Amino acid sequence: MRRFAPLRRRPALTAALLAFALLVPAAPAAADDDRPQGRGGEESLIETPWVTAHRGASAYRPEHTLAAYRLAIRQRADVIEPDLVPTSDGHLIARHENELGGTTDVDERPEFADRRTTKVIDGVSVTGWFAEDFTLAEIKTLRAEERIPHIRPRNTRYDGRYEIPTFEEVLEVWEKGRRRDRDLLLIPELKHGGYFDSIGLDTEGILAETLRERGLDGRRSPVIVQSFEPASAREVDRLVDARVVQLISGSQGALTTPEALDEISEYADAIGPDLRWVLPIGADGRAGEPTALVADAHDRGLLVTPYTLRSENAHLPNGYDIGEDPTRYGDYLDYYTAVYATGVDGVFSDNPDHLYRARQIHERGQRRP
């Protein structure tokens, strides 16, 4: 088994000093002994537990826009997450899915009406407009729109303002954030790798080439690559010496067994499981007893960075609702701190500012009544 250190805990500094100097709070020294040592033993990149901005600060701006990434950096995220899909001419763009109708104004563009089609993506029939049927020049004529306007109506004020960014443009925003005397990681996710291979678009190869061109393909690189598909994650591990996260969806429970974790630790440095595999919700709608997944992963040198925390009532477990309005923020801090208390090494959130606050509460050992 290849082994090397994942993401480090910082030397002992006071929380106040570290927050002032780096805009992130110090982690408790007592937790160090419980963290995985990882593959290989080299010094790690950033303290854990980390605040990961899921698709940027997507609770406040349309997801996967440069505005969402910039806001996440201002909200003190440690990690920025762009999802990547390819265009027909081989460029990677930031979209959660290759279907464009849910997050852009493509359905309002008569010049693209004939591009609407139905495809089978990973066994699921999907109808809409697909990134791989557009050149980058055509993609750049589209504008982003809020994906869930019924839950985030305030975000609709930004509909039509922002272009669809390329991976290179996301890298530029991220690099600018790093130049502001901050530790900041980037964790791109490759979507539907097997499907794109089947139509002749090698997303893993495109990503690897981009990272090599920018000198971001080594073990010390602050870019970490993730995928739900083990074959895609393994391919990235073969192509570049970057750190890799194996994502685990709610339907991929087979990847959470000790035997599966043994295999994952051969090519990955972390797992990113659906929260249900880490912290089940009881019949009362409140957080129950954590599973053994965090401990099992740590025993194998794997970090655990589950997804996704969102603060609206519509997205919280029922026991954390406040009122009946699905758009209203519920008791998110209590839920977020319960997730941190499982010993995870980071969490994905649409609300990085809320997650940052929850980490402060957790690290001070405070729990709300």
Task: State the Cα–Cα distance between residues 252 and 330, nearest whole angstrom.
Answer: 29
Confidence band, pLDDT 50/70/90 cuts, at residue 212: very high
**Phi, psi for 104 (deg, rounded to 5):** -140, 175
Q: Could you state, in order of their start, the residue ranges of all structural domains in the chain?
A: 15-85+164-363
How is 302-356 classified by DSSP, letter by letter?
-EE--B-B--BGGGS-GGG--SS-TTSB-SHHHHHHHHHTTT-SEEEES-HHHHH
Please determine, for residue 53, whether its predicted confidence score (pLDDT) is greater than 90: yes
CATH class of 15-85+164-363: alpha beta
Residue 23 has pLDDT above 80, yes or no: no
User: Is residue 331 a contact partner of residue 320, using CB atoms and an 8 Å limit?
Assistant: yes
The predicted-structure confidence for 140-175, as pLDDT tens digits, reads as follows: 999 999 999 999 999 999 999 999 999 999 999 999
pLDDT of 2-21, one tens digit each?
333 444 433 332 233 223 23
Question: Mean of the pLDDT values across residues 22-42?
Answer: 42
H or E segment to which residue 138 belongs: helix 136-139
pLDDT of residue 43: 53
pLDDT of amino acid 183: 87
pLDDT of residue 48: 83
Q: What is the mean pLDDT of the chain?
A: 89
Q: Above 60 in pLDDT, residue 22?
A: no
What pLDDT does residue 36 have? 56
β-strands 303-304, 270-273: how paired? parallel
Please give the Cα distance from 164 to 20 (Å, whole number).
34
Q: Does the pLDDT of residue 50 top 60, yes or no?
A: yes
- The predicted structure's pLDDT at residue 34: 52
Query: Contact, 86 vs 341, CB < 8 A?
Result: no
* pLDDT tens per residue, range 280-333: 999 999 999 999 999 999 999 999 999 999 999 999 999 999 999 999 999 999
For 73-97, how does the pLDDT look when each residue is reduced to its tens digit (9 = 90+)?
999 999 999 999 999 999 999 999 9
Taking residues 178-190, report their average pLDDT: 90
What confidence score (pLDDT) does residue 365 get? Answer: 83
* Confidence at residue 181, expressed as pLDDT on a 0 to 100 scale: 61
